[in-house]
Chains A and B, each alone.
Chain A
């Protein structure tokens, strides 16, 4: 992913700003895949993800003239896409829920309750389609702003600095939110894989 980004960062800003369609098509070709993946993970809905994808590039085309080049073009695209996705969550999914509130970064981190050493489970078990479906559901349970930080940092491979530019947060806030997101996911996955582990040892006992 990092290598992909470097290889595709090579765009002529001058051509893009002048409305060069060949260069814009290159940009779309390079980034539409990652933007769609981000939309799918943020919204868990193919239609919403497609809307975010289209809106991102429509806005990018419209506003390229105002892009100052201070961040990389990929960071800028992620920024448009993440804002679109967060707005969509606000609008469509939970019209009454504020997406900024549930983060509670001032409150102490919840103490882990799932203390199960499930790391010894076989990888086939951890990567089964059922496990993956559970992992996707766990992401959906994160408050949207924590979800965005987690996806940008751990799935899209953006740096802390890039993520802070995408979300207009300080780097310290990015780290705090990433920590919270990861700890919550760890908690959820530990509950799930802990049960798999219990099933497994039960099966062993029955065999014996």
Chain B
């Protein structure tokens, strides 16, 4: 394994999983991944990490008492009931 190459490509992996790399660097990484088991694991687990955070993020929202205090603070009391 060409270890220097791993270090050199490390900083590009985040852009790589987003599909935002230029084609030259992208194919360099793909070529490297064919021979480097460690980097393949790093890429897979990086992708999985981002995926897990995305799917467990939960919908936006807040407890109803927090919402009520917000509307009161903003002097919007008459709109409190209009919850979506």
Q: Which residues of B contact A46 (CB under 8 A)?
A: 66
Taking a contact as CB atoms under 8 Å apart, the answer to whether B53 and A58 are in contact is no
The A interface, classified by DSSP as helix, strand, loop or mixed, is: helix
B76 CB → nearest A CB, Å: 5
A197 CB → nearest B CB, Å: 11
Q: Which residues of A contact B6 (CB under 8 A)?
A: 111
- The interface size bin for chain A is 35 or more
State whether A179 and B14 are in contact (beta carbons under 8 Å apart), knowing that A135-B56, A155-B54 are contacts in the complex. yes
Q: Choose among A29, A109, A119, A186 the residue with the greatest number of B CB atoms under 10 Å from its CB.
A: A186
Taking a contact as CB atoms under 8 Å apart, the answer to whether B45 and A118 are in contact is yes
Q: Which residues of A contact B73 (CB under 8 A)?
A: 54, 58
Instruction: Please name the residue on chain B nearest to A177 by beta carbon.
Output: B14
Taking a contact as CB atoms under 8 Å apart, the answer to whether B61 and A116 are in contact is no
Q: Which residues of B contact A127 (CB under 8 A)?
A: 52, 55-56
Chain B residues engaging chain A, CB cutoff 8 angstroms: 6-7, 10-11, 13-15, 20, 38, 41-42, 44-46, 48-50, 52-62, 66-67, 69-71, 73-74, 76, 79, 82-84
Known contacts A112-B42, A118-B48; 9 additional CB pairs below 8 A are A24-B74, A29-B84, A37-B60, A112-B38, A116-B41, A132-B56, A135-B52, A179-B11, A179-B14
Q: List the 8 closest A-B pairs by CB distance, nearest first.
A: A33-B60, A179-B14, A25-B79, A36-B62, A34-B60, A33-B61, A186-B49, A186-B46
